[in-house]
Amino acid sequence: MLTRPLIQTALPGPKAKAILERDRRQMSTSYVRPYALVPERGEGCWLYDVDGNSFLDLMAGIAVNTTGYAHPRVVKAVTEQAQKFAHVCFSDFTHDSAVTLAERLAAKLGGGYRVFFGNSGTEGIEAAIKLARYHTRRPYLISFAGSFHGRTLGSLSLTASNAKYRRGFGPLLPHVVHLPYPHPYRPPLGASPENVGQAVLDYLEHLFRTSLPADEVAAVFLEPIQGEGGYVVPPKGFVQGLRELTQRHGILLVADEVQSGVGRTGTFLAMEQEGVQADIVVLAKGLASGYPISAVLFREELSTWTPAAHGTTFGGNAVSVAAALATLDLLEEGVMDNARRVSEHLMRGLLELQKKHPRLGDVRGRGLMIGLDFVKDRETRNEDPALRDQVQQKAFEKGLLVLSAGPSTVRLAPPLILTLEEADIALDVLGEVLRAVGA
C-alpha cells in the first residue's frame, strides 16, 4: 500500500494532456472536466493515471465504487458471469441471479417490496415518477430546492440543485413543486437551525391550504441526505415529520437513495437512521461497485401496473447483477462496518482541521458521505465557491481526489473499503491543502 500519493509530473502530465486535448476536440461540450485526471488503472482506493502518477481517491467515481477499484471478488463474479451470458433482456426473460438480487434487496428493507431494475439513477427516478402517477392517478410531484434526481426530462423536472442543469431544456414536466430543503447550516424561510424542519413542513401544509391540492399530489421525492446539493443532512425529526404528513394525505414518499444508499452512510439505507420506511426507494450508483444498474423498490401494494406498462432493454443485465451480488456479499462481510469505523476517525480528524481553519465553516455528513462547506467567514456563513474550487484543485495537485457539491462544498465519498491509514493520509494532505489556500 502506498503511504502517500506520488505525483511525478506537473499535472496534467504529457500523456494526460494529449488525451484531454483529443477529448476537448471530440467529445460533447456538455461534459465537465473539473480537473485534469486521466486514469489508466485503479486498485482499492488508489487510482493511477496515464503518466504514472498515483492518487488517493476520495470521490470513487462520484460515490460509485463501493468496494474500490477492481476488487478481486467483484472481478471474479463479473468474469464468471461474462463467460455465461451478459444479457437476455430481463424485461422479457427472467434469470436466477437477478431474482436473487431483488430478493436480497427487498429483504434488506424488511420485505414487502417488489423490484424494477434499470441502468442508472435517472432511469430509476423515471420509473418511480411513472409508478407514483400510475398508481395514484394524481398529477403533482414534490421535490426540494437543492435536490438532484437526474438529467432526463422527468427527473430533471425534479432536480433543482443548479439552474444550469435546467436552462434551455424547458418545458419540463408540469405539476412539479419545489420545497425549500431544511438546511440546518443555512436555514430557509427565516427559520433557525433548531426549527427549520418544522418550518418546511408547516410551509407545505400552507401550500396545501392555498395553492396545491394535497389530494392531487402523487409523491414527494426526498434525498435523505442531499448529495449534489452539498451533502446536507436534514435536521432530526424532519424525515419522520414528512413521513407522517405524506401518510396523512395519501401521498407516496420516494427516497432517492441513489447516492446515499448501499452502505454509504454506514447503514444500508440512509433512511434507516431516520427510522422511516419510504414507499419507493431508488438505488443506483454504489449498488454494483461501478457496473451500471439501478433498482427501484416499491411496496407490494403499489404494484398495480400491468405487463408492458414499464420496461427497459438493459435493466437486470447479468454482469451488473453479478457485480451487485458480490458488492452485497462484501458489504455484509464487513465493508459497511468498516465504513462506520473509518467515518468516525475521518470525522474526528476533519473537526480538528475545522478548528484550525475558520473558512472551513461546516463539516457534516454520515458514514462516508461527508461534506466540507467553505465560507467567506464563520459569522455570515456566506458561501465561498472560489475557495472551494481552489481546495479541489490543490488537492488534485497533491494527489488527493475530492469533488465539489453544491455552491461551496467539497464532498468526500471514498470507497467504503478506505482504511484508517488511508484516512490519515487523506487528512494529512487535506491539512496541507487548507494551509496552502489560506482557509
176-199 core/surface letters (b: 16 or more CB in 10 A; e: else)? bebbbbbbbbbbbeebeeeebbeb
Q: How far is the CB of 119 from ligand PLP (least distance, A)?
A: 8
Residue 264 sits in the site that holds ligand PLP (CB under 6 A):
no
Mark residues 227-246: x for contact with ligand PLP by CB under 6 A, - for none: xx------------------
Secondary element (H or E) of residue 378 = none
Q: How far is the CB of 79 from ligand PLP (least distance, A)?
A: 24
Q: How far is the CB of 112 from ligand PLP (least distance, A)?
A: 23
The DSSP code sequence of 321-357 is HHHHHHHHHHIIIIIHHHHHHHHHHHHHHHHHHHHH-
Nearer to ligand PLP, 399 or 415 (CB): 415
Nearer to ligand PLP, 253 or 284 (CB): 284
Kindly state the number of chain residues that form the binding site for ligand PLP, as judged by CB under 6 A.
Answer: 14
Nearer to ligand PLP, 259 or 404 (CB): 259
Nearer to ligand PLP, 223 or 383 (CB): 223
280 bridge partner residues: 254, 298
Which amino acid belongs to residue 380? Answer: T
Residue 223 sits in the site that holds ligand PLP (CB under 6 A):
yes
Secondary element (H or E) of residue 48 = strand 46-49
Rounded to the nearest angstrom, the gap between the alpha carbon of residue 203 and the centroid of all alpha carbons in its chain is 27
Kindly list the distances between the CA atom of residue 363 and the CA atoms of 258, 360, 430, in Å, as whole numbers in the listed order.
22, 7, 13
The DSSP code sequence of 206-260 is HHHHHT--GGGEEEEEE-SSBSTTT-BPPPTTHHHHHHHHHHHTT-EEEEE-TTT
Mark residues 150-169: x for contact with ligand PLP by CB under 6 A, - for none: x-------------------
User: Quick one: DSSP state of residue 429?
Assistant: H
Phi, psi of 418 (to 5 degrees): -50, 135
Residue nearest to ligand PLP (CB): 121
Q: How far is the CB of 110 from ligand PLP (least distance, A)?
A: 22
Among 16, 38, 106, 125, binds ligand PLP (CB under 6 A): 125
Nearer to ligand PLP, 49 or 228 (CB): 228
Binding to ligand PLP in span 266-325, by CB under 6 A: 284
**Integer Cα distance of 351 and 364 in angstroms:** 9
Measured at the CA of 177, the angle between CA 171 and CA 179, to 5 degrees, comes to 135
Among 53, 66, 120, 343, binds ligand PLP (CB under 6 A): 120
Residue 122 sits in the site that holds ligand PLP (CB under 6 A):
yes
Q: Which of 419, 371, 425 is nearest to 400 (CA)?
A: 425
Nearer to ligand PLP, 57 or 228 (CB): 228
**Integer Cα distance of 125 and 127 in angstroms:** 5
Q: How far is the CB of 143 from ligand PLP (least distance, A)?
A: 10
Nearer to ligand PLP, 51 or 126 (CB): 126
Segment interacting with ligand PLP, rule: CB under 6 A, options 73-81, 203-211, 253-261, 409-417: 253-261
Among 90, 148, 238, 314, binds ligand PLP (CB under 6 A): 148
Residue 105 sits in the site that holds ligand PLP (CB under 6 A):
no
Residues at the site binding ligand PLP, with contacts judged by CB under 6 A: 120-122, 125, 148-150, 223, 227-228, 256, 258-259, 284
